[in-house]
């Protein structure tokens, strides 16, 4: 079923991008023995930059916040999102009328699977392992800032 935001849009900077109302994705983090691991999805071969690793995400629907859209898209692509805490976000806004927001989401336990045709695989990686993966260009550009959020979030503020 298509969402109201599905579709390409010509942005004010002249580039064409997916998401009539912008787009968003979620970087899930789980801390085992204090070491953070992040969940990434392998984009399916048919997708833009297929065969690369990135966050689950996609087009925002009309009236949807970036947090709502990121969590909805993640549930569609990698399965139901467990109890979580949003600990940060990175916004890529190359045009005045379009942005991609990546939220950083702490979860108590790893989860995820290939839930639809957009995801070929799901993996949990240490932050150092991410650096060696073939990543989607947009995610790779945001990764240094996302990594800082992952590495500097104090697990004590997340509660029991």
Domain extent listing, the chain: 22-153
Examine the pLDDT at 158 and tell me if it is beyond 70.
no
With bands split at pLDDT 50, 70 and 90, how would you rate the model's confidence at 44?
A: confident
Alpha carbon distance 9, 115 (integer Å): 26
CB contact set of 26 (below 8 Å; sequence gap of 6+): 55, 56, 57, 70, 71, 73, 74, 81, 102, 103, 104, 105
Examine the pLDDT at 47 and tell me if it is beyond 80.
no
CATH of domain 22-153: 3.90.79.10
In tens, the pLDDT along 71-123 reads 999 999 999 999 999 999 999 999 999 999 999 999 999 999 887 878 888 99
Taking the whole predicted model, whether its pTM rises above 0.85 is answered as: yes
Alpha carbon distance 42, 52 (integer Å): 6
């Amino acid at each position: 079923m298509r969402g109201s935001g599905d579709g390409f849009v010509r942005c004010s900077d002249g580039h064409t991008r997916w998401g009539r109302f912008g787009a968003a994705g979620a970087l899930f983090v789980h801390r085992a023995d204090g070491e953070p691991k992040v969940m990434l999805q392998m984009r399916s071969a048919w997708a833009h930059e297929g065969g690369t690793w990135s966050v689950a995400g996609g087009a925002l629907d009309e009236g949807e916040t970036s947090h709502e859209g990121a969590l909805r898209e993640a549930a569609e692509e990698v399965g139901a999102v467990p109890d979580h805490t949003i600990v940060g976000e990175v916004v890529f806004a190359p045009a005045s009328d379009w942005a991609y927001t990546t939220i950083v989401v702490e979860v108590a336990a790893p989860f995820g699977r290939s839930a639809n045709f957009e995801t070929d695989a799901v993996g949990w990686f240490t932050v150092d392992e991410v650096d060696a993966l073939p990543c989607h260009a947009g995610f790779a550009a945001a990764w240094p800032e996302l990594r800082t959020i992952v590495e500097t979030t104090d697990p004590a503020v997340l509660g029991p």
